[in-house]
A = this chain, B = another copy of it.
Amino acid sequence: MKKVRVLILPKEGLLDPQGRAVEEMLKDNGFKVENVRVGKVVEMEVEDNQDVSSIVDKYIINPLIEEYEIEEV
């Protein structure tokens, strides 16, 4: 088995209300932050020869509004 992490973020340019809310809140508290985006992370163990992107494309993300990266941990 291998352990992978899938980082899922709203596509660049799409509305990201959670990211906007976090950014405003941090700015209101005096921090200099930009381009805050909030997404999901899915960590899992899969078989060594499992193609992770085929799982993610079909079962985990919405490709119209989300993009992702896979990291092996």
Contacts and interface: CB of A to CB of B under 8 A. Distances in A.
A60 interface: yes
Given A26-B55, A59-B26, A34 B45 contact: yes
A46 B33 CA distance: 5
B7 A32 contact: no
A64 B21 CA distance: 22
Nearest to A47: B32
Interface in A2-31: 3, 5, 7-9, 19, 22-23, 25-26, 29, 31
A65 interface: no
Contact of A1 (B34, B42, B45, B46): B34
